[in-house]
């Protein structure tokens, strides 16, 4: 298995050490799990972005919204709606 050496500032290294200890993990296991979580989150966000783009690039959806008379955008000359 390939390895990767990563340098951390002393403060970050101490934080990693403390969190790993709190979770009952070795530092190596904690860093590996954290990296796997970050990769999974990145992939999920990328997939969500792709779905969002497919839905909102659909001209039929825009036509259906217009045909239904739905206009939920800000009025002319306004920056947005108050909550």
DSSP-assigned letters across all residues of the chain: ---------HHHHHHHHHHHHHTT--HHHHHHHHHHHHHHHHHHHHHHHHHHHHHHT-HHHHHHHHHTT---SPPTT-S----
> Is 6 within a domain?
no
Mean of pLDDT over the chain: 88
Q: Is the pLDDT of residue 80 over 60?
A: no
Give mean pLDDT, residues 71-81.
63
| Higher pLDDT pick, 4 / 37 | 37
> Is 53 within a domain?
yes
Domain ranges, residue 32? 28-67
Looking at residue 15, its pLDDT comes to 97
Q: Is the pLDDT of residue 79 over 90?
A: no
> Is 39 within a domain?
yes
Domains in the chain: how many in total?
A: 1
Looking at residue 20, its pLDDT comes to 98
> Is 4 within a domain?
no
Portion of the chain with pLDDT greater than 90, in percent: 57
């Amino acid at each position: 298995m390939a390895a990767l050496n990563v340098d951390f500032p002393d403060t970050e290294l101490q934080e990693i050490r403390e969190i790993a200890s709190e979770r009952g993990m070795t530092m190596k296991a904690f860093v590996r799990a954290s990296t796997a979580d970050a990769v999974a989150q990145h992939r999920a966000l990328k997939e969500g972005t792709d779905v969002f783009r497919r839905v909102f690039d659909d001209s039929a959806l825009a036509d259906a919204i217009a045909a239904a008379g739905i206009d939920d955008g800000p009025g002319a000359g306004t920056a947005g709606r108050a909550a």
